[in-house]
Amino acid sequence: MESPIGLFGGTFSPVHHGHLRSALDICQALELSSVTLIPNYLSPHKAAQDVNAHHRLAMLKLATSISPMLSISDIEISSENTSYTVDTVRSFRAQYPNRPLCFLMGMDSLINFTKWHQWQEILANCHLIVSKRPGYDISDNSDAANLLTDYQTTDIAQIKSTLNGRIFVYEAHPLAISSSQMRQALKDGNSITYLTPPAVEDYIATHQLYR
Ligand code: ATP
């Protein structure tokens, strides 16, 4: 079977090293061909962003340009509609009928996963690769624990040899960084240096975002 493809959806407002490093760690550990970061247009789970999709996309381009393992898709942004992961993974599945698809998410997202639109259908199209995130513990949440009972594998070979339907939990470099914490810092006039690549920091300053 060809190597799996990584997909990583999110709001990325703004992108930070927690996103980037976990994507890279997982890409290497699972020998994915690459990870495609997919910024949403409108998240079904979050209030509308005050920074528009094109700025979020531009920051992602700056952040990922230095890594050959990371790329970007504007599939959700160009739809100009609420972004449902099930639609996105279906579209990648149509494009790659015979390759394992791995959808990356942080533990906070897995904890809410059974509330996602058509979550069973998402698993029918891809695997979930979950990175542990400081402050989010599976044992606090019975829904997520049940999901792991039903779908977890600890065997990377199984992810590589099947197309979809498994959950793999990976301990990436734990980085307790969040976009909301960065937006608050910017609002308060505090520095975001070392939380995100310098090019993203410069872009935010030039365009006076998140003031
Ligand atoms: P916010 O603070 O606004 O909620 P966020 O930092 O969680 O934003 P998102 O764009 O919502 O960023 O996250 C996209 C995906 O990245 C989600 O699956 C989330 O769980 C994951 N993620 C975000 N930050 C981290 C981190 N520090 N470590 C691992 N995964 C993360």
For 95, other C-beta atoms within 10 Å of its C-beta total: 10
* Residue from 27, 77, 108, 171 to probe ligand 1 pocket by mutation (most atoms less than 8 Å from CB): 108
Residues 192-210 have pLDDT tens digits of 999 999 999 999 999 999 9
For residue 120, the CA-to-ligand 1 centroid distance in Å is: 22
Give the count of domains, the chain: 1
What the block records as the tokens of 32 is 């994915």
Q: Which residues line ligand 1 (CB under 6 A)?
A: 10-12, 18-19, 22, 105-106, 108-109, 131, 133, 175, 177-180
Decide: helix, strand or coil at residue 143. Answer: helix
| pLDDT at residue number 143 | 86
| pLDDT at residue number 40 | 96
Taking the C-alpha atoms of residue 151 and residue 130, their distance in angstroms, rounded to an integer, is 12
Q: Report which protein residue has its CA nearest ligand 1's atom 25.
A: 18
Give the predicted TM-score (pTM) of the model: 0.96
1: pLDDT confidence band, cut at 50, 70 and 90? confident
| Domain carrying residue 115 | 5-207
Taking the C-alpha atoms of residue 21 and residue 32, their distance in angstroms, rounded to an integer, is 15
Residues 144-159 have pLDDT tens digits of 899 999 999 999 999 9
Measured from the CA of 176, which atom of ligand 1 is nearest? Answer: 27
Rg (CA), the chain: 17
Q: What is the mean pLDDT of the chain?
A: 95
Q: How far is CA 199 from CA 68, 75, 102, 195, 205, in A?
A: 17, 24, 28, 12, 10
Residues 75-134 have pLDDT tens digits of 999 999 999 999 999 999 999 999 999 999 999 999 999 999 999 999 999 999 999 888
- Given a cut of 80, whether residue 27 has pLDDT beyond it is yes
Whichever domain contains 98, its CATH number is 3.40.50.620
| pLDDT at residue number 129 | 98
What the block records as the tokens of 109 is 């997202």
For residue 114, the CA-to-ligand 1 centroid distance in Å is: 17
